[in-house]
């Protein structure tokens, strides 16, 4: 295993996910086309760090039952705690993971296909429409290389409501990764968004967070009011702060959110 479940990237991803799930309308659906498994083994260092986190970390409460069984809930496991299972739609290219998702009572979309991107492209023809989509393959920027990015993104931005993107390995010194990250931002120039970058945490002993930068992007649905986007961005900024505190990152370096035309960016670096 290259990653321990519950690493720094998972903390920011799942903290933001919990907060975003609060904003689903009554009866709303969540869709994770790169879902992994509903839960994973939790190593001791992960368990201790989450249980010792400030109470403001939503994930602490949400994970406490699972952690007491030595498990860490993934995105669909968390969503399945908050929403009816029939409102948690998911897919994974890996058949064993699909079986685990199905056994947890979650809805597998596109059971006969083998690609989450294609499943997403076919989504508009499917019902019900999800109100929140998480994009979290291992290598989003690599997968979207070349022309596919523009076509894929405009299609996605067209039909999806709120979007959460998890991007791994954002190394500011790596020009290729930086280029795709900027391209994604440019493509979403018309959308309001919240963005957060979490730097590596080299000394934790938890696999998957020593070297990687993690970038989260949140794009709310287009119909959201300026007032709500402001409230949501503040809530996500609070989530980023408490994750930084949990990770022991230097607070002096946590930047204050900067707002411009209802876009908020905060970089924890
Ligand atoms: C980072 S994990 C997902 C973790 C999960 N979203 C969570 O937060 O608990 C990425 C998953 O995407 C799946 N995956 C990667 N490329 C895929 C593709 N093209 N189509 C479908 N699934 C894919 C992998 O099998 C893996 O389970």
Is 241 a residue whose pLDDT tops 50?
A: yes
Write down the mean pLDDT value for the chain.
84
* 9 confidence band (pLDDT: 50, 70, 90): very high
The candidate with the shortest Cα–Cα distance to 133, out of 148, 143, 119, is: 119
What is the reported pLDDT for 253?
45
Domains of the chain listed by start with CATH number: 8-267 (3.40.50.150)
DSSP state letter for 83: S
- Ligand 1 proximity of 136 Cβ (cutoff 6 Å): yes
Ligand 1 binding pocket mutation candidate from 46, 138, 167 (most atoms within 8 A of CB)? 138
Q: Residue range 34-38: average pLDDT?
A: 97
160 or 10, which is more confident: 10
CA 13 to ligand 1 center in whole angstroms: 14
CA 246 to ligand 1 center in whole angstroms: 25
CA 40 to CA 155: how far, in whole Å?
32
193 or 28, which is more confident: 28
Structural contact between residues 113 and 130, judged by C-beta atoms closer than 8 angstroms: no
168 membership: H or E segment, kind and range = strand 162-168
Q: Which of 29-38, 87-96, 138-147, 202-211 has the lowest mean pLDDT?
A: 138-147
Is 23 a residue whose pLDDT tops 90?
A: yes
Which segment, 62-71, 190-199, 202-211, 229-238, is predicted with the most confidence on average? 62-71
What is the reported pLDDT for 168?
81
* 187 confidence band (pLDDT: 50, 70, 90): low
Q: Residue range 131-146: average pLDDT?
A: 82
């Amino acid at each position: 295993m290259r990653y321990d479940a519950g690493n720094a990237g998972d903390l920011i991803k799942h903290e933001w996910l919990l907060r975003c799930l609060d904003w689903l309308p009554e009866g709303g659906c969540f869709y994770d086309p790169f879902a992994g498994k509903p839960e994973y083994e939790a190593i001791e260092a992960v368990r201790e760090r989450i249980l010792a986190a400030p109470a403001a970390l939503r994930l602490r409460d949400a994970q406490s039952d699972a952690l007491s069984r030595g498990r860490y809930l993934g995105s669909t496991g968390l969503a399945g705690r908050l929403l009816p299972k029939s409102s948690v739609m998911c897919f994974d290219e890996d058949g064993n993971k699909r079986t685990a998702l199905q056994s947890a009572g979650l809805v597998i979309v596109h059971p006969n296909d083998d690609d989450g991107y294609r499943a997403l492209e076919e989504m508009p023809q499917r019902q019900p429409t999800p109100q929140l989509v998480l994009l979290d393959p291992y290598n989003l920027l690599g997968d979207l290389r070349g022309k596919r990015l523009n076509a894929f993104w405009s299609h996605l931005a067209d039909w999806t409501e709120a979007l959460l993107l998890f991007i791994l390995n954002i190394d500011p010194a790596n020009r290729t990764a930086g280029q795709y990250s900027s391209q994604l931002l440019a493509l979403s120039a018309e959308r309001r968004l919240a963005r957060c970058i979490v730097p590596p945490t080299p000394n934790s002993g938890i696999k998957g967070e020593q070297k990687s930068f993690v970038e989260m992007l949140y794009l709310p649905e287009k119909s959201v009011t300026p007032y709500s986007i402001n409230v949501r961005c503040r809530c996500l900024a609070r989530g980023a702060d408490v994750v930084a505190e949990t990770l022991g990152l230097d607070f002096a370096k946590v930047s204050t959110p900067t707002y411009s035309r209802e876009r908020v960016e905060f970089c924890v670096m």
